[in-house]
């Protein structure tokens, strides 16, 4: 079954993509929850209008994203984690923790889906994350993983 996604879905596709899914998944889950539309002729014509509106909305936001990138430039995010004596942390630092730390320390909302870690963070130290705020606005953010008592 071909459907048009109305939202980004992990392992399925991005918003406004036309994808093929199993009939039951589309008919019983995606369409009733408002996550997708059947990809028929009427909805395919509507798809171009939806894409155009989304592009216009994002182009208005480019200035905001550029300002956010400028504000984050040169700043170092501090993330507290529990660690053993060798400096290896229990678990790892994820994009969710980075998103929460940005909100707490810099008072900015950045979706976890827009944060990309170049390497797995399992030790104390300094790292870099890439923030994909918009197709035209990509910036690096330095962050430091510290033990809980140093925060």
Residue 56's CATH number: 3.40.5.10
Measured in whole angstroms, how far is the alpha carbon of residue 88 from the centre of its chain?
26
Is the domain of 10 the same as that of 53? yes
Q: What is the pLDDT of residues 132-151, one digit of tens each?
A: 888 788 899 999 999 886 44
User: Is residue 131 a contact partner of residue 140, using CB atoms and an 8 Å limit?
Assistant: yes
- Structural element, H or E, at residue 90: strand 88-93
User: Is residue 1 a contact partner of residue 37, using CB atoms and an 8 Å limit?
Assistant: no
Q: What is the per-residue pLDDT for 77?
A: 92
User: Is residue 112 a contact partner of residue 39, using CB atoms and an 8 Å limit?
Assistant: no
Is the domain of 81 the same as that of 138? yes
Q: Average pLDDT in the 22-28 region?
A: 95
Containing domain of residue 22, as a range?
2-61
Q: How many residues in the chain?
A: 151
- Quote the pTM value: 0.68
Is the domain of 51 the same as that of 102? no
User: Is residue 26 a contact partner of residue 1, using CB atoms and an 8 Å limit?
Assistant: yes
User: Is residue 127 a contact partner of residue 143, using CB atoms and an 8 Å limit?
Assistant: yes
Is the domain of 121 the same as that of 144? yes
Q: What is the per-residue pLDDT for 147?
A: 87
Q: Average pLDDT in the 13-35 region?
A: 93
Q: What is the per-residue pLDDT for 149?
A: 67
- 13: which 2 tokens? 């596709």
């Amino acid at each position: 079954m071909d459907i048009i996604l109305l939202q980004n879905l992990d392992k399925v596709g991005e918003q406004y993509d036309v994808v093929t899914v199993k009939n039951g998944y589309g008919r019983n889950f995606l369409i009733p929850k408002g996550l997708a539309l059947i990809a028929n002729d009427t909805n395919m014509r509507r798809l171009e209008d939806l894409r155009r509106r989304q592009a216009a909305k994002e182009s208005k936001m480019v200035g905001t994203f550029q300002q956010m990138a400028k504000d984050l430039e040169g700043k170092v995010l501090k993330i507290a984690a529990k660690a053993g004596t060798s400096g290896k942390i229990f678990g790892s630092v994820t994009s969710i923790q980075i998103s929460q730390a940005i909100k707490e320390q810099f008072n900015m909302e950045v979706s976890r889906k827009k944060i990309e870690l170049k390497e797995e963070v399992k030790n104390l130290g300094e790292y870099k994350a890439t923030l994909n705020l918009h197709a035209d606005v990509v910036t690096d953010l330095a962050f430091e993983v510290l033990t809980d008592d140093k925060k």
